[in-house]
Structures are given as structure tokens and as C-alpha cells.
């Protein structure tokens, strides 16, 4: 089997991508991130739908997701873009994130920079400086124990339960860490004596754990990414068209007829146990830098799971 290769971080962990990443702290700061990313395609970004009028548990969850994304193993460095008056309190979040990592982390505040264009200039300068460090890194050998795989499923997987359990068992035997949505935690039963369930977007020191899902597959994808998944395997019997800006999202079709019609949107079919080795070989190639279909199609999508009211 082909060995895995990744980017070794200063803390000893590995990333399978080496992204520069910008996080708008509020919807009003999206344009700065978008404009710079259009000029520098290596800069990944999210479009933040909120950032103001969030309170209580909902605000805490948004802050948690943002922290986890900025610290994601596939991220070389992160730039936060704040308007300056949002409820997210970007400066506090920036200080918290900076204290937890040796990665290049920076904050630009539009209202303190003199406006949108001057804020964009600061972000561009950061990208140019951080890009030099990112491009100087090369891949080195990593083990399966250094890899976290997020599993994403459609609602009904009853007909494929045996096949999906076999796939998870193979990944577990190789040593990969596995996170599944708690809505499908039964598929991971047997891999751990007591399967731990954590909150949305949270990681664990366990080799296998379950995470509270979002209200749809894209929100769950964001949560799995925040939980530290290097790559996400989406096992589905439906046509979908989304990905993650940070974690390569490989889509495997469980329906042979659907795959024949929509094969351009899938990384491959998963029809029986003979397809499991093919899936693993494709997974290894993607880990080692080959783009998966969602990456090739430029599918960098983001959706926050909202758990509270907006005021």
C-alpha cells in the first residue's frame, strides 16, 4: 500500500493540505476576504452568513467553530477579518486562537484600517508573507495514526450497513482516527468499547468518536472539519454538489445506476467489498496531494449549524 505523505506541523501533527485561510468575523467583512481570494487562489475563505445578533449558546458555538477551523491541521496560517463592531468580538477570539498555536495568525479590522481597500491591502501583504513559508514546506512520511477521517452519510443507510461497517473496520485496522455523526454512530459500534459522543465541531483524543451533526449534510461537513477531519468521506446514494474549503471531501456513490448518470460528481462507486480497496487507494492519493472531485470543481462551501435565536 502506498505510504501517506503530509505536512509536519511544529507541534508534531500533520496536515494533508497547506492552506492559507481567511475567516470573516461577520457578514459585513465577507467582501474583503472574497476580493483577496479572487486575486490569490491559494487563499481559502468562508462566506460568513452571521456574526451579529447571536447570543448565548449559539454565539459560543460560532466562536468554537471558528477557533477549530483556524487551528485545523490542513491550515498553514489564518487571517481573521473583522468589521470592528460585530458580536463575535473578533479581537478576543484572535487572542485566544493565537495563544493556542505557533501557526501564523493575524487580524485585520476594517474600521481601524481606513476602510475596505486598505484592509484588503493588509490581507494581501499577509498572504504574500505567509505564502513564502507555506511554499517552503515539503511533504514527509506520516502514519495512519496521524490521519483523521470524517464520515458523512445520507439519512438512510440501512441497506448498506454491512458494507459501511466493513469500510470503517478497515480504516480502524489501518490506524486512522475516525469521527462519525452521532446520527450514524451505530456504524462505528464495535470499533470502541464505549463510543464517546461530543458536541458539534469538537475533537477527541479517542481513536473513534461520534459528533453531534448539523441540520443538513453541509452543516455536518463544517462540523466534521472543525472536529479535525483531514479528509471527509461522503457515502451517499444521492447526487450532491458541495465540498469543504479545508478538508478534501471525497464522494462515493452507493447506487450503481446513479453513479452511471452522475459519475462526474463522484470520486467512485462503492457497490460491494471489492470496491473498498479502490476507495482506499484513492483516499491515499488524495491525502498525498491529488485533488478529489470536489476540489477539482472548486467546491468550497460553508454552513454554520445554528442552535439559538437571533435578536
Overall average pLDDT of the 117-139 stretch: 96
Question: At 67, is the pLDDT very low, low, confident or very high (cuts 50, 70, 90)?
Answer: very high
Residues 283 and 155 in one domain: yes
86-95, 142-151, 175-184, 251-260: least confidently modelled range: 86-95
- The answer, yes or no, to whether residue 243 has pLDDT greater than 80, is yes
Residue 64, domain CATH: 3.40.50.2300
The pTM (predicted TM-score) of the whole model is 0.96
Residues 117 and 146 in one domain: no
28-32, 190-194, 219-223, 262-266: least confidently modelled range: 190-194
pLDDT for res 158:
73
The rounded distance, in Å, linking the Cα atoms of 254 and 237 is 5
Overall average pLDDT of the 289-308 stretch: 94
> What distance, in Å, lies between the first and last C-alpha atoms of the chain?
54
Assigned domain for 214 exists: yes
**Domain of residue 155, residue span:** 141-296
- The answer, yes or no, to whether residue 240 has pLDDT greater than 80, is yes
The angle at the Cα of 210, spanning 205 to 214, to the nearest 5 degrees, equals 125
Residues 170 and 125 in one domain: no
Assigned domain for 13 exists: no
11-15, 51-55, 163-167: least confidently modelled range: 51-55
pLDDT for res 104:
95
pLDDT for res 51:
79
Q: What are the residues facing 149 on neighbouring strands?
A: 178, 231
Residues 58 and 156 in one domain: no
Residues 200 and 287 in one domain: yes
Residues 148 and 238 in one domain: yes
Residues 202 and 268 in one domain: yes
- The answer, yes or no, to whether residue 153 has pLDDT greater than 90, is yes
Residues 49 and 72 in one domain: yes
Amino acid at each position: 500500500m502506498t505510504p501517506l505523505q503530509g505536512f509536519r506541523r511544529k507541534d508534531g501533527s500533520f496536515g494533508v493540505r497547506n492552506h492559507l485561510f481567511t475567516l470573516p468575523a461577520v457578514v459585513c467583512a465577507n467582501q474583503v476576504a472574497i476580493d483577496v481570494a479572487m486575486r490569490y487562489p491559494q487563499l481559502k475563505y468562508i462566506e460568513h452568513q452571521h456574526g451579529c445578533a447571536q447570543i448565548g449558546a449559539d454565539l459560543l458555538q460560532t466562536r468554537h467553530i471558528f477557533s477549530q477551523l483556524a487551528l485545523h491541521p490542513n491550515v498553514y496560517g489564518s487571517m481573521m477579518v473583522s468589521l470592528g463592531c460585530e458580536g463575535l468580538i473578533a479581537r478576543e477570539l484572535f487572542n485566544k486562537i493565537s495563544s493556542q498555536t505557533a501557526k501564523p495568525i493575524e487580524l485585520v479590522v476594517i474600521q481601524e484600517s481606513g476602510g475596505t481597500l486598505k484592509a484588503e491591502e493588509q490581507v494581501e501583504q499577509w498572504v504574500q508573507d505567509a505564502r513564502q513559508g507555506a511554499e517552503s514546506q515539503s511533504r514527509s512520511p506520516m502514519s495512519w495514526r496521524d490521519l483523521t477521517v470524517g464520515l458523512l452519510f445520507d439519512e438512510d443507510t440501512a441497506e448498506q450497513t454491512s458494507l459501511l461497517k466493513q469500510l470503517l473496520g478497515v480504516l480502524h485496522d489501518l490506524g486512522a482516527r475516525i469521527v462519525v455523526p452521532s446520527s450514524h454512530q451505530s456504524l462505528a459500534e464495535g470499533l470502541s468499547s464505549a463510543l464517546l459522543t461530543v458536541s458539534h465541531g469538537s475533537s477527541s483524543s479517542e481513536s473513534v468518536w461520534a459528533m453531534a451533526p448539523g441540520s443538513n449534510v453541509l452543516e455536518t461537513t463544517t462540523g466534521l472539519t472543525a472536529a479535525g477531519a483531514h479528509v471527509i468521506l461522503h457515502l451517499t446514494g444521492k447526487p450532491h454538489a458541495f465540498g469543504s474549503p479545508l478538508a478534501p471531501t471525497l464522494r462515493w456513490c452507493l447506487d450503481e445506476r446513479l453513479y452511471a448518470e452522475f459519475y462526474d460528481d463522484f470520486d467512485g462507486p462503492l457497490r460491494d467489498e471489492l470496491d473498498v480497496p479502490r476507495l482506499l487507494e484513492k483516499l491515499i492519493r488524495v491525502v498525498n496531494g491529488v485533488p478529489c472531485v470536489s476540489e477539482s470543481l472548486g467546491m468550497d462551501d460553508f454552513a454554520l449549524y445554528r442552535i439559538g435565536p437571533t435578536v
